[in-house]
Amino acid sequence: MSERLSHPFFSKMLVEKVKSFIGSRLINDDQPVLVALSGGADSVALLRVLLALGYECRAAHCNFHLRGEESNRDEQFVAALCNKLNVALDVKHFDVPACMSEHGVSMEMACRQLRYEWFEELRKERGCGCIAVAHHNDDNIETLFLNALRGTGIAGLTGMKPRNGVVVRPLLCVSRAEILAWLGEIKQDYVTDSTNLENDARRNRLRNIVLPALYKEFPGAKDALLTTIENVRQCNELYCESVGVMRNIVSDREGDSIVIDLEILNSFENREMLLYEILKPLGFNSEQCSNMLTSAVGRHFTTSSHMAAINRATIDVFPLQPRDENVYIVNLDGDKVVEPVALEIIHVEDEAFSPAMVDGKCTIALSNEILQCSQVLLRHWRGGDRFKPFGMHGSKLVSDLFTDLKLSEKEKNAAWLLEADGEIVWVLGYRAAQLFRVPAKCSQFLILKLQLP
């Protein structure tokens, strides 16, 4: 043990160090703190430090039943400790294999998911302001290396945040060695998870083999790595601020959609990284963003929540809406249609038709012959749909009409067609077909008006 760690005032120094680190940003004094208590040295130290600082604490313990009697031993130790310290305790038992099977995740991910979901439920139920977990700065260095070994961006090199939503990490300012020394000074025991000594997991190999060898060969490496984490964190904050400014320049938000001007985007030297930062919050990965910049017009990229469509001058990004694939039978004998779009139906009986009565887009005229069709319906457009536009020889793909009109992917997906006996009569809001055209001077015909929202 170093001279500093064995100093008689060390215990007071550690508590003051954590107090200074918490400051006014991590924990709200007005609400209890929910402490994640495994029974190991780190979580026991976390509880003891917070109590020493005067915080009202509740403890939460997860029994995953993965280590046989050792798991039960941990629960018994935690219960006895909380009873001794007069701290309220909640314990929950989990079926980890069932979670792994249901969600197709690893044991580590299943435990993490179960743990944090329960912590948040418990926090709300018990009226706690935050969830305190016992990560220290050695954990932060391990996280830095693990992220780097996976291949990460600048954010992955910043380690763990002192506060992430309602989760706080008051011990990030101290080391594992400091924690163990302090527990020894206050004569506080704890339990040891035997699996932490096994080197089958990546983090354990890093903790037990790689980092000790690194620190031995390079004295001062640990402090240097902690300084690096802090420097990268500050760089990341500046980077995010800069990206925010560039995002405002590049992206034009239209309601819940984003339109990215490719000419402006391409003016940035690091356009691929900028595009990724813009679209990352929507679930797009770096490979997708890279491909967007070299893809042909018309290609789509999707996440679970959004679609990005490549156009000539823009990338249009919009939320994925479950498209209505139903067909709606239309009764043209009535005076209106209300679903899925609002149409007014006017039956003209004694007035000569004039082209000035319609615009061919939102208002069209149809001969009464359409009333003899066996089925008239409304539906969304589909790939391969073809019609004969009014005033044009031959037929045209509906998709080509959309391209000519420079419609966004969102506008295309929202378009409705009026179909009569399998033939497209009208692309609502955009173009009427030749079918059922009204002859000159005809005095009996229909006028359909699209009621725009």
pLDDT given at position 248 = 64
Residue written as token pair 């430090």: 49
Q: Helix, strand, or coil here: 389?
A: strand
- DSSP letter (8 states) at residue 194: G
> What is the amino acid identity at position 336?
K
The alpha-carbon radius of gyration of the chain (Å, integer) is: 33
Per-residue confidence in pLDDT tens, the chain, 453 aa? 233 334 444 456 899 999 999 987 899 878 999 999 999 999 999 999 999 999 999 999 999 998 889 999 999 999 999 999 999 999 999 998 988 888 888 888 889 999 999 999 999 999 999 999 999 999 999 999 998 998 888 888 888 999 999 999 999 999 999 999 999 999 999 999 887 777 777 888 998 999 999 999 999 999 999 999 988 988 888 777 777 766 666 655 555 678 888 888 888 878 888 888 888 888 888 889 999 998 888 888 888 788 888 888 888 888 877 667 788 898 888 888 878 888 888 898 888 888 888 888 889 888 888 888 999 898 988 888 898 988 788 888 988 888 888 887 777 888 889 999 989 989 998 988 888 888 877 888 888 888 876
Q: Are 71 and 102 in contact (CB under 8 A)?
A: no
Q: Are 58 and 35 in contact (CB under 8 A)?
A: yes
Task: Give the C-alpha separation, 372 to 148, whole Å.
Answer: 70
| pTM of the predicted model as reported, rounded to 2 decimal places | 0.59
pLDDT given at position 167 = 95
Task: Give the C-alpha separation, 229 to 282, whole Å.
Answer: 26
pLDDT given at position 6 = 40
Pairing outcome for strands 130-132 and 33-36: parallel
Cα 370 to its chain centre, rounded Å, is 49
Encoded tokens for 218? 């390079």
pLDDT given at position 246 = 66
> What is the amino acid identity at position 400?
D
Q: Are 398 and 387 in contact (CB under 8 A)?
A: yes
Task: Give the C-alpha separation, 384 to 381, whole Å.
Answer: 9
Q: Which of 116, 55, 62 is nearest to 87 (CA)?
A: 55
Cis, bond preceding 322 (omega within 30 deg of 0): no
Task: Give the C-alpha separation, 363 to 359, whole Å.
Answer: 5
Task: Concatenate the DSSP letters of all residues of 351-394 into one string.
Answer: S---GGG--SSSEEEEEGGGGG-S-EEEEE--TT-EE-BTT-SS
The upper half-sphere exposure of residue 255, i.e. CA atoms within 13 Å in the direction of its Cβ, equals 4
Q: How many CB atoms sit inside 10 A of residue 147's CB?
A: 16
Task: Concatenate the DSSP letters of all residues of 276-290 into one string.
Answer: HHHHGGGT--HHHHH
Pairing outcome for strands 314-319 and 88-93: unpaired
Encoded tokens for 358? 């319609």
Binning the chain into helix, strand and coil, the percentages to the nearest 5 are: 40, 20, 40
